[in-house]
Amino acid sequence: MFRLPLRRVLVVLLMFASSLASAQRTLQIPSQFSSVQTAIDQASSGDTVSIAPGTYTGSINFSGKRIIVQGSANGVVLLPSVPGPMVSFISGESRASLLANVTIEGGAASTPQVPAA
């Protein structure tokens, strides 16, 4: 009969549980979350926020996360709830932070301030 030491079995189980906890997720709008920003707030790097076709109100901030925010099909429209920028990439986001298949209407552009050297 083959026997593994208990310590080795526990290490393997912990590694497996850790990999499951860090698995990429797809967060669905509006079936799981009522707003795009709420889903972004709950997302972890590597996750995808998938938005069903429809019109959604409110600006979004990627908050430095390496996530994909995308429309699941054509017809996803983001409208502002207040004047100003609609989408913010201002917290050190990387090229892995993506916004795709979304139409933005009525937002304002802004240029980030670069600190003086």
CB 85 within 8 A of CB 110: yes
Domain ranges of the chain: 24-104
Model pTM above 0.85? no
Region 12-31: what's the mean pLDDT? 70
Dist CA 112 CA 89 (whole Å): 9
Per-residue confidence band for 116, with pLDDT thresholds at 50, 70 and 90: low
Task: Tell me the pLDDT tens digit for each residue of 59-70.
Answer: 999 999 999 999
Selected residue with higher pLDDT from 80 and 5: 80
Q: Beta strands 26-29 and 60-61: pairing type?
A: unpaired
Amino acid at 72: S
68-107 per-residue burial string, b: 16 or more CB within 10 A, e: under 16:
bbbbeeeebbbebeeeebbbebeeebeeebebeebebeee
Most confident among 18-22, 35-39, 86-90 (mean pLDDT): 35-39
- pLDDT value of position 83: 87
